[in-house]
Amino acid sequence: MEKLNFTLGAVRNLRSSVRQCFEKLADGTGPEQSEENNAKFLLEFQENFNDINHQIKELEGIINSLQVPPAPYYLGNTTYLAQETTQDRQALYSQLVNSYKWIDKVPRYPAVHDHSLLAYNNLNVNSLRRSYIYNSQKRGRVQYSTCNTPDPDHTDNLFSEISHPNTTYKVCRPFGSSAVVLITISHVLKAALVCKGVLIEWVSVKGFDEHIDFDDLFAESRYAVFRKVQENTQAAMLHFFSPTLPDLAIKSYMAWFHSYSRLFVEPCKRCGKFLATGLPPTWRDLRTLEPYHEECKN
């Protein structure tokens, strides 16, 4: 175990050194461009690169010296972590135990059984509703618009009218009446908009070389830059929402979304750098569409 722990420590040190090297590369030489600064930057990078090569050779030697264990290591309850890596589900066992204890008491308390039966009936009636409470009475409120209209032709016509350079929009319906709009912006990114009528309910952003899977539209991109872009697009989705003018809201949102066509070629409007903390400017101003880093937008 000591050799294994020493090997894991060497791996952590190598990863830390590689990360620091790329962070220095992302920061660059700074706003002052001079031969002295460039020479100093190249010298520091060469030292970091040689240090990384040295650590890699040491790690290879350590790995070659490891021996196959005669029996698997006993890792206790940590062996179950590989079965479910999602953070919010790692405490599933304790929740199941509490649920079992609660259900075990149901026959002893008729009121609990009646409550469970009532909840079951409500959930079955409202399986596709956003609310678990069913109300058959008509509400005395005015329907503002057709933002959640089930008419598919209205959604198709709306996105057919939207046109931006080097951007394509394709409307498909893999889930029935709800539309999924596939957006491809130049060679930069892909996105999927899940719409109920012309009401956008979810936005998924992926890299241009990634595949959008309809079976799991909630899966995030493997690139940090597009995960950050997805967070910003979802925030902008709420900003542009308008129940009184849904068509105009969609067109304004698409115009804002198209500003990401220059994601990797425009510097930050405030600091003037292309990269900050290893990422390009992932935020676009909601009015001017100017690019900003996450640290510079406030």
| Closest by CA position to 197, among listed 180, 213, 216, 215 | 180
pLDDT score recorded for residue 134 = 46
User: Contact 263/240 with Cβ under 8 angstroms?
Assistant: no
At residue 279, what are phi and psi to the nearest 5 degrees? -125, 150
For residue 192, list its beta bridge partners: 182, 204
- pLDDT tens across 194-235, in order? 988 788 889 999 999 999 988 888 889 999 999 999 999 999
Concatenated DSSP letters of 246-257: HHHHHHHHHHHH
Q: How far apart are CA 251 and CA 293, in angstroms?
A: 25
Segment holding 194, helix H or strand E: strand 189-196
Q: Give CA separation, 254 vs 64, 174, 184, 193, in Å.
A: 55, 22, 12, 11
Q: How far apart are CA 175 and CA 194, in angstroms?
A: 10
User: Contact 65/57 with Cβ under 8 angstroms?
Assistant: no
Residue type, 41: F
At residue 152, what are phi and psi to the nearest 5 degrees? -70, -30
pLDDT score recorded for residue 85 = 54
Question: Across residues 183-196, what is the average pLDDT?
Answer: 92
Q: Is the pLDDT of residue 47 over 60?
A: yes
Chain centroid to CA 207: 11
pLDDT score recorded for residue 244 = 78
Is residue 139 very low, low, confident or very high in pLDDT (cuts 50, 70, 90)? Answer: low
Is residue 40 very low, low, confident or very high in pLDDT (cuts 50, 70, 90)? Answer: confident
Question: Across residues 168-192, what is the average pLDDT?
Answer: 90
Dihedral sign from CA coordinates of 110, 111, 114, 120: negative
Q: How far apart are CA 217 and CA 126, in angstroms?
A: 23
* Claim: this prediction has a pTM higher than 0.85: no
Percent of the chain with pLDDT over 90: 34
Dihedral sign from CA coordinates of 134, 135, 138, 139: negative
- pLDDT tens across 71-126, in order? 766 666 656 655 655 555 556 667 767 776 766 665 555 556 666 676 666 666 55
Is residue 131 very low, low, confident or very high in pLDDT (cuts 50, 70, 90)? Answer: very low
Q: Delimit the domains of the chain by residue range.
A: 1-29+36-65, 152-292
Q: Is the pLDDT of residue 144 over 50?
A: no
Helices and strands (H and E) in the chain: how many = 7, 6
Is residue 27 very low, low, confident or very high in pLDDT (cuts 50, 70, 90)? Answer: confident
Concatenated DSSP letters of 42-55: HHHHHHHHHHHHHH
At residue 265, what are phi and psi to the nearest 5 degrees? -120, -5
pLDDT score recorded for residue 148 = 54
SS3 15: helix
